[in-house]
């Protein structure tokens, strides 16, 4: 549970709190949806760079050091985002925060996979718990950001206080992360044993369909997390209702570790990734079709219950099919394509939203990307 705060920092706060801030910042600074989406594109580009750097850094520094060090850097860059209003400067801050969050996410995923080897009967649950920590960050953001936006609405650029509050939350999580990082750094590496005839190293070609499906997951899911709050506000849903929606989504993320643990443990192929991608497409398209509140809530609950388990499914795929010595390379590769997809998603959805179809049409594009990803992922075979 302490380790899961790494996911809370890297995605729950550093990435997703921006979706709650987007409407206020866009109105205050006069942004188009394309520019608003570009902020998360910059964050995803930084995430991509961080994912490429992580394997090299892991050779010189242990995953524990990357975990808490990356979280500390993410806290700093979140705080700095509250001091600027210039779009170019904010884009740089979002990029740097993305680099730091990738270090946290990959290192934490590697440690969670190692933890699973100590408790093999619960490995799927443990992976889900780590990634489900993102929900803690989402719930915290849902409770703090709307309240702070209202509290400082009368001040010039009152949204800046939300950045500083989220930075403080990241700093508290970082302090907690030092403990599991130090404890796990003293553990011996898992025995590097593989099934007879199985691969001893990670090769991209072996996982090509899983990687393709995961790339499209990155394209599809991020449009929802970037723009769904803006869509709900545009549809006339109150700020209180948006807070409830976002908090319920975060609670569903936390619960998802238990829901999908058996699926992740049972299958060695791309079936979990395909199944979860398909369900996520359904969740994303619902608010594009109707603003009826029960359907909107169902969308948030389904999305929250699924989307971080997609991430866990790729770590499980690596863990099932590769020896422990190849896990870092495999997890980093999946994180890299995930980041590449996220670079495309927000800008494309924002560009579509600036057109006649609005945000609803942008979410239809996101759902389509996920369903295509499901069709590719189902072709991933166990090695």
Confidence (pLDDT) at 189: 60
The residue with tokens 């299958």 is 267
d(CA 199, CA 190): 17
pLDDT of amino acid 194: 43
What does the alpha-carbon distance between residue 258 and residue 265 come to, in Å, rounded to a whole number?
Answer: 12
pLDDT, mean of residues 201-225: 93
CB-count burial class (<10 Å; 0-12, 13-18, 19+) for 196: exposed
* Region of residue 238 (left: phi > 0; alpha: psi -120 to 50; beta: else): beta
pLDDT digits (tens, 9 = 90+) for 309-351: 998 999 999 999 999 889 888 988 998 898 889 888 888 888 8
Mean pLDDT of the chain: 90
- What would the mean pLDDT of 183-202 be, rounded to a whole number? 64
Q: Sketch the domain layout of the chain as residue ranges.
A: 5-187+202-377
Residue 54 has pLDDT above 60, yes or no: yes
236: left (phi over 0), alpha (psi -120 to 50) or beta: left
Q: What is the pLDDT of residue 188?
A: 63
Candidate from 122-126, 141-145, 265-269, 373-377 with smallest mean pLDDT: 122-126
Q: 239 or 66: whose pLDDT is higher?
A: 66
Question: Is it the case that residue 213 has pLDDT exceeding 80?
Answer: yes
Token pair recorded at residue 360: 């609803």
Task: List own/partner pairs for 236-244 with CB under 8 A and 24 or more apart.
Answer: 236/291, 237/291, 237/293, 237/296, 239/146, 239/149, 239/150, 240/146, 241/293, 242/20, 242/146, 243/142, 243/143, 243/146, 243/147
The mean pLDDT value for 19-41 works out to 89
196 vs 92: which has the higher pLDDT: 92
Q: Is the pLDDT of residue 61 over 90?
A: no
pLDDT higher than 70, residue 243: yes
| pLDDT over 60 at 283, yes or no | yes
Band the pLDDT of 382: cuts 50, 70, 90: very high
Share of the chain above pLDDT 90, in %: 55
pLDDT at 210: 97
Q: What pLDDT does 94 receive?
A: 94
Distance of CA 14 to the CA centre of its chain: 9
Alpha-carbon dihedral of residues 49, 94, 133, 124, nearest 10 degrees?
-20
Q: Give the integer Cα–Cα distance in Å for 103 and 116.
A: 20
Q: What is the per-residue pLDDT across 125-181, written as a single tens digit (0 to 9) for each?
A: 888 889 889 999 999 998 999 999 999 988 999 999 999 999 999 999 999 999 998
Q: Which two tokens stand for residue 287?
A: 């608010």
Per DSSP, 291 falls in state -
Sequence-separated (6 or more) residues with CB below 8 Å from residue 228: 19, 287, 300, 363
Q: Quick check: 290 and 231 in contact, CB under 8 A?
A: no
With vertex at residue 148, the alpha carbon angle to CA 146 and CA 154, rounded to the nearest 5 degrees, is 110
Q: What span, in angstroms and rounded, lies between the C-alpha atoms of 88 and 291?
A: 34
Domain 5-187+202-377 has CATH 3.90.79.10: no
H/E element holding 174?
helix 160-185
Radius of gyration of the chain (CA): 19
Both tokens assigned to 60:
């010189």
Mean pLDDT of 117-129: 85
């Amino acid at each position: 549970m302490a380790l899961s705060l790494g996911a809370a920092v890297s995605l729950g706060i550093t990435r997703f709190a921006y979706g709650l801030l987007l409407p206020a910042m866009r109105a205050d600074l006069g942004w188009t949806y394309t520019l608003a989406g570009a902020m998360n594109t910059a964050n995803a580009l930084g995430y991509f760079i961080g994912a490429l750097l992580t394997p090299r850094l892991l050779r010189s520094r242990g995953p524990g050091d990357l975990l808490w060090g990356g979280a500390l850097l993410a806290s700093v860059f979140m705080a700095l985002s509250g001091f600027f209003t210039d779009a170019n400067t904010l884009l740089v801050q979002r990029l740097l925060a993305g680099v730091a969050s990738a270090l946290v996410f990959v290192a934490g995923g590697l440690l969670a996979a190692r933890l699973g080897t100590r408790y093999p009967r619960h490995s799927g649950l443990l992976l889900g718990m780590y990634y489900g920590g993102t929900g803690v960050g989402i719930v915290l953001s849902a409770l703090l950001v709307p309240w702070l936006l209202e509290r400082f609405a009368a001040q010039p650029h009152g949204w800046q206080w939300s950045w500083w509050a989220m930075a403080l939350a990241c700093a508290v999580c970082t302090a907690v992360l030092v403990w599991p990082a130090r404890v796990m750094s003293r553990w011996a590496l898992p025995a590097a044993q593989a099934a007879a005839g199985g691969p001893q190293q990670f090769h991209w070609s072996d996982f090509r369909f899983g990687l393709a499906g995961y790339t499209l997951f990155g394209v599809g899911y991020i449009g929802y997390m970037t723009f769904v709050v803006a869509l709900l506000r545009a549809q006339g849903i109150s700020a209180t209702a948006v807070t409830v929606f976002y908090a319920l989504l975060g609670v569903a993320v936390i619960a998802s570790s238990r829901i999908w643990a058996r699926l992740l443990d049972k299958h060695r192929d791309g079936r979990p990734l395909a199944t979860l991608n398909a369900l996520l497409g359904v969740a994303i398209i619902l608010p594009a079709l109707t603003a009826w509140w029960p359907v909107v809530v169902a969308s948030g609950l389904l999305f929250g219950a699924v989307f971080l388990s997609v991430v866990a499914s790729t770590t499980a795929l690596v863990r099932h099919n590769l020896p422990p010595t190849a896990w870092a390379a495999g997890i980093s590769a999946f994180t890299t394509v995930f980041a590449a997809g996220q670079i495309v998603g927000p800008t494309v959805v924002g560009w579509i939203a600036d057109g006649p179809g609005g945000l609803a049409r942008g979410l239809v594009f996101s759902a389509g990307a996920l369903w295509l990803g499901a069709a590719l992922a189902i072709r991933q075979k166990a090695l």
